Amino acid sequence: MRIAVFHPGAMGSKLAAQLVVAGHEVHWVPEGRSEASRARAEEAGLISTPFAQAVERAEVVLCSCAPQGAVDVAKQVGSQGFSGLYVEANPLSPTSLREARSAVPDATFVDAGVVGPPPTGGPSPTHLMLSGTAAGEVAALWDGTAVTSMVVGTEPGAASAAKSSYALYNKGKAALAVLAFQLAEKHGVTEALVAQQTRADGGSLKDPSLPEQLRSVAWRWGPEFDELAETLDNAGLEGDAARALRQVWTKLT
């Protein structure tokens, strides 16, 4: 199938590369993208194409970008009258997801969420959560690749909820570890904290450089926690917990 990917970041480029492995023709739009994006696209085997042409020819559009850009991508694609399969693969709140869906009224909308690292075939699996009437059709696009597709519902929203639930646990744990290291450093007891890594629940305490390691993703994880807070609010749960943890990423940027 002919697929357009917006925009090939660290995760999107790897998802797109697996689509190329599966035999699909995958396009991307280089205009306005960084040299790093160009290098990722070239490594993935993507075809450089102007925006209007990429959308016009595409049977499938895959949107995998930072959450703060997802609705704008949907609006840009919708403005071209796209009527194929639109796969929204960003961790969005119900409100943002509805906005993205309404921006592509002629498309068949599939909600998606990635759990795990960028797919490379390594020991930690990459799960692509999917929901919507065409979720099974989208799942088949990655057959035989390093992406494990999981259809989790027939309505958009289920896949984002599955992704958000895991992200809240996994990245929330990382945020708490960052705070723990920062507190220990303030009091000169980092070595004592790291010594607790041998405990069953101390795996995140192995490396005191964790705050610096996560600085490079804080710009993206912060907006993800904004979406998580709204998702929790929508479910009648404690959105303020995610808002508090969001400040960890704000201070790391």
| Tens digits of residue pLDDT in 109-140 | 999 999 999 999 888 899 999 999 999 999 99
| Res. 15: pLDDT tops 90 | yes
Q: Which two tokens stand for residue 144?
A: 């035989």
Please tell me the predicted confidence (pLDDT) of residue 123. Answer: 84
pLDDT of residue 232: 97
Please check the confidence at residue 163 and state whether its pLDDT lies above 90. yes
Per-residue pLDDT band for 5 (boundaries 50, 70, 90) equals very high
Q: Where are the domains of the chain?
A: 2-154, 162-252
Mean pLDDT calculated for residue range 49-53: 97
Q: How confident is the model over 177-209, as pLDDT tens digits?
A: 999 999 999 999 999 999 999 999 899 999 999
- Spatial distance between the Cα atoms of 22 and 116, rounded to a whole number of angstroms: 20
Q: Give CATH for domain 162-252.
A: 1.10.1040
* Topology of domain 2-154, CATH: Rossmann fold (3.40.50)
Confidence (pTM): 0.94
